[in-house]
Amino acid sequence: MLLMIFLFQDTNAKHFVLIHGSGHGAWCWYKLVALLRSSGHDVTALDMAASGINLQQVLDVPTISNYFRPLMDFMDSVPTRETVILVAHSSGGLAVSLAMERFPDKISVSVFVTALMPGTSLNISTLSQEFLRSQQGSLMDSRYSYDNGADKPPTTLMLGPKYLSVNMYQLSPIQDWSLATMLVRPVYLYTEEDMSRELVLSSKKYGSISRVYIMTDEDKVARKELQQWMVRQNPPDKVVEIKGSDHMVMMSRPTELFDVLLLLIAQNYS
């Protein structure tokens, strides 16, 4: 009987690949990683370039192509006949969208967790403008750096503890906010031109992959109105809402996120 259980788990195991948002790293998925692995699934949580424990520094990745490279390298290493479930949070949706375009045969479904979701009819320029328009309030104690000179546009942004507390982790356990204040790293501010050049998406490739969008109702970064706008402009196959979550849904509502990934997505997309 025990052998049969293990065989059943192996047969039904999925491989989830988790992609973090700006300033964060693989560390922010620690609760979800534990839940998925304890259910018998394979999980890979990646650090993008100059993020988490990736050894590169922020000024070493001046193009978004450099920033995306860890995910592209990983997808290239996935065996031809295998597929993964990509899960993007926040700006991680941009990296996942590019992976969909480049590796459509290696992805069973892509999940956008309150994430930026460009598409074949929603270019990055329009998406960036709508995101900026949706922002309310200031960046508080966050800090810009001007590595190309004070008369030039800022090059990086470091999210401040107060900003994290008020806008990103306001419904998360205080321990998770405290962890974030120690681990967040500067974000390179890529130009719209650079992002537009890299993120060219086609119906044949990007459009061939199923997409699920997970909305959060108390998000102060990707506000609900922005999430709804993206869903209207670039309709996914399925939309799910997790109630009572801030932007960091994997911190504030990890069990609910796990339930959606396991019960709705893993069982319905192969």
The reported pLDDT for the residue numbered 5 is 37
CB neighbour burial string for 99-114, b if at least 16 within 10 angstroms, e if fewer: bbbbbeebbbbbbbbb
CB 94: neighbour CB atoms within 10 A? Answer: 27
90 is a catalytic site residue: yes
Q: Is 198 helix (H, G, I), strand (E, B) or coil?
A: helix
End-to-end, the C-alpha distance of the chain in Å comes to 26
Residue type, 72: M
The catalytic residue among 90, 91, 110, 128 is 90
The catalytic residue among 128, 219, 245, 246 is 219
Sheet strands (E) in the chain: 15-19, 42-46, 84-89, 107-113, 143-145, 156-158, 187-188, 210-216, 238-242
Structure letter (DSSP) for residue 148:
T
Q: How far is CA 117 from CA 37, 96, 114, 136, 176, in A?
A: 27, 9, 9, 20, 26
What angle (nearest 5°) sits at the alpha carbon of residue 196, between those of residues 193 and 202? 165
Q: How many Å apart are CA 230 and CA 210, to the nearest integer? A: 16
Task: Report how far Cα 181 is from the mean position of its chain's Cα atoms.
Answer: 19
* C-beta separation of 29 from 250 below 8 A: yes
219 is a catalytic site residue: yes
The reported pLDDT for the residue numbered 12 is 80
Q: Does the pLDDT of residue 6 top 50, yes or no?
A: no
Domains of the chain: residue spans and CATH: 2-266 (3.40.50.1820)
The most distant pair of C-alpha atoms in the chain lies apart, rounded to whole Å, by: 70
Q: How confident is the model at residue 44 (pLDDT cuts 50, 70, 90)?
A: very high
147 is a catalytic site residue: no
Q: How many Å apart are CA 89 and CA 9, to the nearest integer? A: 27
Residues 87-140 have pLDDT tens digits of 999 999 999 999 999 999 999 999 999 999 999 999 999 999 999 999 988 899
Residues 141-188 have pLDDT tens digits of 999 999 999 999 999 999 999 999 999 999 999 999 999 999 999 999
Q: Tell me the mean pLDDT in the region 68-76.
A: 99
Q: Tell me the mean pLDDT in the region 223-228.
A: 98
Q: How many Å apart are CA 86 and CA 6, to the nearest integer? A: 25
